[in-house]
Amino acid sequence: MRTESLSVQSSLKNISTESLSIVADQQILFAKEAYSGFGEVQLVDGRSIDYQSVQNADILLVRSVTKVNESLLKDSNVKFVGSATSGIDHIDIDYLEKANITFAQALGSNARSVAEYVLSSLFVAAEQKGFSLTEKTVGIIGCGQVGSRVKRFLQALGVNCLLNDPPLASKTSDQNYVELDDILQADIITLHVPLTAEGNYPTSNLLDKEFLARLKSDVIIINSSRGGVIDEKALLDFKQANPAATLILDVWLNEPQIDINLLKQTFIATPHIAGYSYDGKLKATQMLFDSLNNYLGQNLDKVNLSNSEQEILYINDDVIQFAVLQSYDVRTDGIALMGLMNMEDEKRGQYFDSLRNNYPVRREFSNRTIQTHELDDVSQQQLQQLGFKVETI
């Protein structure tokens, strides 16, 4: 497989883009506007992208709902696949390499969005369950693009964090990383790992029956990575045996046909939208634009898709929690998904997807300015470390 960062020879490079055919998931933000300079863009529902729809395509741009493998691409014209996502468990990397198809991903594009989802969820839990985050120890499993941002957010607020990331620990020899067993003592566990079944550090069913049995009975578990990282049957059994445990789930096995029984046991349940901020989607679109520009040997100027309009928040008391929850209160997304429970089985998958496909605009903290009459230096610094702009009025 050739990645977009490599200097490669390609049958598509330095040719007229007028003849190129691009099939793109219609949920890629501004796909038509951004990529029309490279060729003719056909927008397709991600779950409807199939063998027939890609046969004459030169370029395929997807999100996580499209499985990209030999059965999809065999005998097609596709020479470049781009995914507007960080995770790649929906991509058969081995097949792309064998077929000499270049692949690019939007690594880290939604990392801040997911980190903000985690922080919002924790403030909601703290508010409703009557605790302070600074009283808790948070175990962060996976400290890459997302986990490292979660760590920075929490440490800025004075929260004790335990970090587990065997690949990074091996690569860096950083003594700050702890073993997975050490995470068991955490009050809160948040998962930020890719879904892998092979290699030295597989993550499939990382939280299995044995691991869950050793956790605190009132642990808070947050999963915004991939559903398969947790054994869902074991998680359901664990929750039923430990009613004080708190489950916050954004990702699920068998999406969009998720386990309704597990849904009923969650504190917050959302339809795989943790990384769905407008800003994160925009970054992904721009990153794939850069990859295509490089791959095709073009020198196209980016289409200006940014929205720099700032939202002003006026606050006085409880500044950090107020600012976070006013910017993004995860409960809104949680309430929406609970609508599944009142539906017939055959309609639930369609509803799950509709929540994702029609997701409202959510801006990241960096798009918000906090205005206040009085703000102590510590609070101002904390808000700025979370990404907010701060003005005294």
Active site residues: 226, 255, 272
The residues, any chain, with a CB within 8 Å of residue 45's CB and separated by 6 or more, are: 25, 26, 357
Distance CA 281, CA 275 (A): 8
Distance CA 292, CA 72 (A): 21
C-beta of residue 272 within 8 angstroms of C-beta of residue 252? yes
C-beta of residue 306 within 8 angstroms of C-beta of residue 342? no
Compute the C-alpha angle 231/234/235, nearest 5°. 80
- Give the SS3 label for residue 254: coil
Residue type, 142: G
**18: which DSSP letter?**
G
Distance of CA 342 to the CA centre of its chain: 27
Distance CA 337, CA 352 (A): 7
